[in-house]
Structure 1
């Protein structure tokens, strides 16, 4: 499998799970479906991730220096991630741990690059 395709799929899986958790708890959906607002946001995120020109350079969308989300949608995603992040540990601990390890690795790598 193409490594960029795999990165896109992983990013979308994580975001989908986070939006699902948020929608179920905040919008009181059944967990199997999303409300229209969250469904529209997920469609927007999928389009952005699938068309990302920097997928080969960056580790996670949240770590990217280019903001390809509109400000209001970026703010909504930050709200969703803050809410869903801790809950993701219970729902999918492997995915949450993988996501956190990538963030930590990227932080360490960026600090090492700034030394030189």
Structure 2
């Protein structure tokens, strides 16, 4: 198989995808999902209708969206549920997580495609984090090995 791949010019070869690349540009999808989750939660718990938000949910959403735009991860922003750094503020993080948890069943019933896509994005984040951790562990192991080899060479040179 490698013989054949050498015959195919580089530009025609299938390129392997980096798992982190799949996470790029998910901010508009994430915002749409969050807005829909808020509407589902607010309609069932706060008595609003037709996807409209109560003032409390609308205020929380107006705090969350600008902070999402300033996410430290930039274009490789993970799904907010899986993010290591919750950046909405002390009380807002808990309210956000409560709304996202409370809207889970309603989202599955009312917007099943969006819910499945969100779940797949979450799994992609888990996979990308796993790959990043493996790469970091491998890099650390190679640094330690190089350090040991350097130390061994110094000891041999001293003898």
Moved over 2 A (4+): 55-59, 108-116
1:37-56 aligned at under 5 Å gives the runs 37-56=56-75
Corresponding position of 2:113 = 94
Task: Classify 1:21/1:76 alpha carbon distance in 2 versus 1 (closer, same or farther; 3 Å).
Answer: same
- 1:29 is aligned, of 39, 48, 53, to 48
Rg larger in structure: 2
Distance 1:89 1:64 in 2: 22
TM-score normalised by length of structure 1: 0.84
In structure 1, list runs of 5 or more residues that go unmatched. Answer: none
RMSD between aligned alpha carbons?
1.9
Count residues with an aligned counterpart: 113
TM-score normalised by length of structure 2: 0.63
Distance 1:57 1:92 in 2: 25
Q: Secondary structure at the match of 2:75?
A: coil
Alpha-carbon shift at residue 7 of structure 1 (Å): 1.9
Corresponding position of 1:80 = 99
